[in-house]
Structure 1
């Protein structure tokens, strides 16, 4: 059996001594030694195939050429071990192969980590009774189905079969499922969606020495199984946060842009995020400031063309995603020292991005490497929206480190991007932004980011949200910049965009049918983790790869609903370690609650509707300050707020109430408005929201009652 030493201190997990809310939804195992749950399929002559499952008894005997596919009921990852109680002779062989989707089950190999063909089966010569284990070199980070294949005459009897779960290697063996965050609502689909997103992020947290070596990435013969190893070293610590546990098993900054907040909202695994970010900064070109497309492994053997290629290629957007990753880490940890240590790297990188800005005020993008989209050049709307957002983030961080010398420059550049993009790239006929001045394409990514970045005005954000929703197909939101692709990565950002545009119901509906109905419940999926991408027809095809078996079915960049539900639906927006905004946007949910613990304290919120009244209870850490934003209800009524603030022994009461006028249909007691600019303190805003500023961290109850 294999054991990895846990390195998270008891203090870091002290909260787990208490009951974990809604633990019944958590997919992470309660311990690391996992037996298969059921027999998915048996071929040939197998006696008592279920004997080595978690509910079975007795041994399982393979006679002559025979195989059993075992189902763990969910995607897992780790090192397989089995015990042989007897064999007919000392020249028997057992083969082990893996797959995430049932589509690719085969005794002849595993679903692919390479670009063509399938991965080779792992063969064990059975010389007699004893224990046999997969070497760490072949740590399979993502699989639901385990195929055991006997390919010789004679027989072998297994008395035991298990997988040692290697994800989250720095967590205690019994602490993997003890989340520091939770979510629950009256919609079971959304409950499952949140926890599958959190679990996807967990599987993407792998041993730092189990990175993908991609040794046969350039293989050309689909009929010859390819060699696969997992022996790259990715960080200077125990763990690494990667794009996927099966492949690429590398540190990609694009994934960080959406999955890092989900990590903090579920497990608060700050150390893995920190280690992985540091490896991205360690790969920076110290002359130009360019940051890598992906972090270069510390150790790779043998060298391969893809890793070497990654040393040279530059991606305009992934470069910026590293900077946004640092911001996300700082927001939730408040780690000022880490921010300060990387501040000069941040400035050098941002200055490199600004070197692409031309006389129009927009960056003229020359790199073609992004998340998969076809084309990227010129005054690209996605790239410029992300650059504007990063510039705005940089201003905030500059004040945090007390280095404001570039604030005016960054502010002016941000304003210039918004002005130029709205002049040159807006298509009023389509109510969407064009990819660039010469394009007819209206991309999903650029339009989504136009809202997130604030490049789009409030009216245009509303129009973009509506136009994007009009393009949805039965399997989700299309990304026409990548052909006939549905990208859960970009659609995760689209969820945020709909909330920001004041259309939370669209985001909730999209999570229901795209993430729950298809990405979880389709029988080709793992029912536990989220696929990397697929075709608009519902086919499991992703145009980045020649081989559909290569698609990852556990990809962190598809975990966007964790952020969408905790931050937007439940309304818990953490700005930094001292500031927050509470703004619930529950759509048609009648109950939603969320909570999480991060370095500077705990956050919780609970929203519920009864008849023509609504209640929102929320708590924020002592020593913080924030604002409450409420979308005005659709009736004449009253809003009252009471609070209990301050530290123990110095508690103070807070009371506020106001009569409100109707804002919509009386059939909807909590109508959604727009999260626009913060209006004056304790007033009704023109955007249909009530905002109360200057609240001290504490416990608050909001009552909305319709007349």
Structure 2
């Protein structure tokens, strides 16, 4: 039975919209009523188990104690309903349970949302023929496998079984897959990786009234299935952007640092980002400026210890991630009014962060809560790198709101962090930063953030990139600060760090074997969305949870390749609504392209290898301006840049030609990748590694590199 949903802002998309490029890769459904695709397994006496799948047309009969696990072949989410055509009597029962991974299929219940034990099965008393539906209270946001049980003597025949897809509730029913962004390359692994990341972010966009209530989080008996509800209200709108659709189903700012750019690069769902950010700011301590570890729901029933704990706990880094989330929202929307509305909150929060800075010039981090690790060790490299980056962002935003009174102080604090971190925390023998002064641990999170923030110099960034790559295992990049953990969240930042260090091929290889080969293709995965984290051995174990069945297999913080591929590989860096940098870093890809539409216009880029060199075709919105950064070719070459229809309808032609001496030893690749930082790169000539053309008006450009 189809369940109506409140649909807001239907003008975002239209079923009559132009064809979406590369739509064959999009995993989002074309409509909301979804039937299972196939039977995964059946137990007991079941007649015609496949008749309620997409290939069936009749009825499925469950006799005595029996069960079928149905496979949707990808992770979905929503409200299950079924039609009973007949039953032997009025005392029959049908049970429904769910799981994201085949590893947790169980006759006893669903994979876990609580910390101990699996979730209870939903049982329906079958009183006769008719429609039976799961209540919105039990909206299951993420599952690939649907288990249907019959546990009594007698029989029940189902004539229909479906799930009403509830993710992206404010999008038109036939517009969930109408992406505003696209990606494609000559590497099929990367194509799948990008679209799985975009789909992961979509599943994390849930009805605002379907937040996780964590009813039995304090349960202690692993053998007793626990009660679960999804009825918290998370935002003041129809949708909310959460960390995961199964759990926690809360608005977490840490995830935003990775997933918010991915949303704009794929679906441009600005309204959900805005609503979710506003709830984070609504939870701010008005006296100290402290921002929450996660946004407090507007409505929670019943009250539970975790939500109450979230009211008092403070995370130094998640506090800053909310500020960076506001910056990311502003970058892609140009929403100056929203920025101005939250500017005083931003300043109050940043001032609170700076209150932790001591005589060393570094923040002394006493809060113990971060993405997984507990204990920051005082002068922590990750926390201070994120603080430095936030200070730089604050300067940019200050100019946007014309409040420049703190700029000199913020710049000074940023520079002091760089100096102090390199004096106290840089370990030249390891080519990595130490976690803090009291340990020999070289963390993944702090080292990748040192590159992103500019704490690390260009030479240090190159060395860090090499040292991090040397630690890779068969299943991905380790995060030793969290034990034997592989964190797709932190590794999403590592992807950016390799690009920034001028090592795009490392980022590409990491996406290929970690995201594609393992996180998509391992049979325990969903083949469509990305897991929250796992063990370096490949075991699906995450140290944060007592029950491995609790691991989320659709987590927005694991969608880093969307940003990495569109922004770095294709080179479409949006700085704000009026400025951009185009700097393609394709590695060994022979063709790679991406495009996306945001409020102020459309961006696209296409890099391809040619018979004698390479070409890059770029389009940016009229009324904007930017810099084109080209990495020096691996050969002596003619570099020609031409443009047309530049600067709007009265635009002018553009032409630029330069003879470049190539870098020796890199002739195997057309372009040698360079480095760009948080600010537009300075003018450089070919011998310095990059060629930069500044002050280009928005428009259409073609770069031709011909080796001589």
When residues 37 and 311 of structure 1 are mapped into structure 2, their CA distance, relative to the original with a 3 A threshold, is: same
Aligned to 2:122: 122
TM-fit CA distance, 1:672:
1.8
State the SS of the aligned residue for 1:436: coil
TM-score (norm 2): 0.99
Q: Is the 8 A contact 1:16 1:179 kept in 2?
A: no
Cα-to-partner distance string for 1:207-230 (whole Å, 9 max, x where unaligned): 000000001001000110000000
CA distance in 2, matches of 1:345, 1:520: 40
Alpha-carbon distance in structure 2 between the residues aligned to 1:347 and 1:678: 25
- How far residue 669 of structure 1 moved from its aligned partner, in angstroms, is 1.9
Decide whether aligned partners of structure 1 residues 130 and 460 sit closer, same or farther in structure 2, where only a CA change above 3 A counts: same
SS in 1 for 2:654: strand
* Aligned twin of 1:414: 414
1:704 and 2:701 aligned? no
Return the alpha-carbon distance in structure 1 between the equivalents of residues 203 and 308 of structure 2: 26
Q: Which moved more, 1:12-21 or 1:548-557?
A: 12-21
Shift in Å, 1:326: 0.2
Residue by residue over 1:77-136, the C-alpha shift from the partner in whole angstroms, topping out at 9 and shown as x without a partner, is 000000000000000000000000000011210000000110000000000000000000
- The aligned counterpart of 2:518 is 518
How many angstroms does 1:678 deviate by? 5.1
Partner of 1:675: 676
Q: How far 1:679 sits from its partner (Å)?
A: 5.6
- 1:432 paired to 2:432: yes
Task: Report the CA distance between 1:673 and its aligned residue.
Answer: 2.4
Equivalent position of 2:9 in the other structure: 8
CA distance in 2, matches of 1:151, 1:413: 66
Does structure 2 retain, via aligned residues, the 8 Å contact 1:280–1:292? yes
Q: Distance in 2 between matches of 1:392 and 1:376?
A: 22
Distance 2:118 2:575 in 1: 45
Report matched runs for 1:650-689 at 5 Å: 650-664=650-664, 665-675=666-676, 681=683, 684=685, 687-689=688-690
The answer as to whether partners of 2:196 and 2:528 remain within 8 angstroms in 1 is yes
> What do the CA deviations read for 1:170-221 (whole angstroms, capped 9, x no partner)?
0000000000000000000000000000000000000000000001001000
CA contact (8 A) 2:661 2:686 kept: no
Q: 1:334 to 1:386 in 2, by over 3 A?
A: same
Q: Secondary structure at 1:527's aligned position in 2? A: coil
In the other structure, the counterpart of 2:91 is 91
Aligned to 2:29: 29
Question: Would the aligned equivalents of 1:675 and 1:689 in 2 still touch at CA under 8 Å?
Answer: no
Contact 2:292 2:313 in 1 (8 A): yes
Please list, as runs of the form range in 1=range in 2, the aligned pairs for 1:304-319 lying within 5 A after superposition: 304-319=304-319
Q: Distance in 2 between matches of 1:680 and 1:379?
A: 32
1:374 CA drift (Å): 3.6
Aligned-residue offset at 1:454 = 0.3
Alignment check: 8 A CA contact 1:580 1:627 kept: yes
Write out per-residue CA displacement over residues 559-578 of structure 1, whole angstroms, 9 at most, x where no aligned residue: 00000000000000000000
The answer to whether the Cα contact below 8 Å between 2:14 and 2:175 also exists between their aligned partners in 1 is: no
Per-residue CA distance 1:615-660 (angstroms, 9 max, x = gap): 0001000000000000000101110000014355413100000000
Q: How far apart, CA to CA, are the structure 1 residues paired with 2:647 and 2:442?
A: 52
Task: Tell me the distance in 2 between the aligned counterparts of 1:589 and 1:561.
Answer: 15
The structural deviation recorded for 1:611 is: 2.8
On the 8 A contact 2:495/2:561 being kept in 1, the answer is yes
Structure 2 residue runs of 5 or longer lacking an equivalent are: none
Q: CA deviation at 1:680?
A: 5.2
Confirm or deny that 1:290 pairs with 2:283: no
SS in 1 for 2:329: helix
Structure 2 CA distance for partners of 1:106 and 1:430, relative to 1, 3 Å: same
Larger deviation, residues 476-485 vs 683-692: 683-692
- Residue in structure 2 matched with residue 453 of structure 1 by the alignment: 453
Shift, 1:613, TM fit = 1.2
- Aligned counterparts of 1:680 and 1:317: Cα–Cα separation in 2: 30
Q: Secondary structure at the match of 1:17?
A: coil
Structure 1 residue aligned with 2:275? 275
Gap change, CA 1:45 and 1:15, over 3 Å in 2: closer
Change (3 A) 1:572 1:679: closer
Shift in alpha-carbon separation, 1:679–1:94, aligned structure 2, 3 A? closer
2:623·2:648 contact (CA, 8 Å) conserved in 1?
no
Partner residue of 1:367? 367
- State whether residues 259 and 556 of structure 2, in contact with CA within 8 Å, keep that contact through their aligned partners in structure 1: yes
| Counterpart Cα distance in 2 of 1:686 and 1:538 | 44
Q: How does 1:168-317 map to 2 (within 5 A)?
A: 168-317=168-317
Unaligned runs of 5+ in 1: none
Whole-angstrom distance in 2 between the partners of 1:171 and 1:680: 42
Kept in 1: contact 2:64–2:150 (CA 8 A): yes
Query: Deviation at 1:667?
Result: 2.5
Q: Which residue of 2 aligns with 1:19?
A: 19
Query: 1:101 & 1:288 partners in 2: Cα distance?
Result: 43
Write the distance in 2 (CA, Å) between the matches of 1:80 and 1:374. Answer: 38
Q: Distance in 1 between matches of 2:622 and 2:651?
A: 11
Residue 355 of structure 1 corresponds to 355
* 1:16 CA drift (Å): 6.2
Conserved? CA contact 1:367–1:377, under 8 Å: no
Aligned partners of 1:62 and 1:583: how far apart in 2? 59
> What is the CA–CA distance in structure 2 between the aligned matches of 1:62 and 1:640, rounded to whole Å?
70
SS at match of 2:144: strand
C-alpha distance in 2, partners of 1:22/1:188? 12
Instruction: Number of aligned residue pairs: give it.
Output: 705
Q: Which residue pairs with 1:552 in the alignment?
A: 552
Matches within 5 A, 1:556-635: 556-635=556-635
Structure 1 residue 684: Cα displacement: 1.1
1:481 corresponds in structure 2 to: 481
Task: Quote the offset at 1:40 in angstroms.
Answer: 0.1
Quote the Cα distance in structure 1 between the aligned partners of 2:591 and 2:366.
48
Aligned partners of 1:628 and 1:691 also within 8 Å: yes
* SS of match in other structure, 2:516: helix
SS at match of 1:312: coil
Cα distance in 2 for partners of 1:16, 1:623 equals: 28
| Structure-2 change in CA distance of 1:295 and 1:469 (3 Å) | same
| Structure 2 CA distance for aligned equivalents of residues 649 and 459 of structure 1 | 44
Alignment of 1:112-151 (within 5 A): 112-151=112-151
Q: Distance in 1 between matches of 2:522 and 2:381?
A: 34
Does the aligned pair in 1 maintain the 2:642–2:653 contact within 8 Å?
Answer: yes
Distance in 2, matches of 1:360 and 1:685, equals 39
Q: Distance in 1 between matches of 2:675 and 2:563?
A: 19
| Kept in 1: contact 2:39–2:70 (CA 8 A) | yes
Q: Matched residues in 1 for 2:91 and 2:320: separation? A: 56
State the 1:685 CA deviation.
5.6
Post-superposition CA distance 1:44-91 (Å, at most 9, x none): 000000000001121000000000000000000000000000000000
Q: 1:15 to 1:357 in 2, by over 3 A?
A: farther
Deviates more, 1:480-489 or 1:608-617: 608-617
1:375 Cα deviation after fit: 2.1
TM-score (norm 1): 0.99
SS of equivalent to 1:319: helix
CA deviations on 1:254-284 (whole Å, 9 max, x unpaired) are: 0001100000000000000000000000000
State the SS of the aligned residue for 1:667.
coil
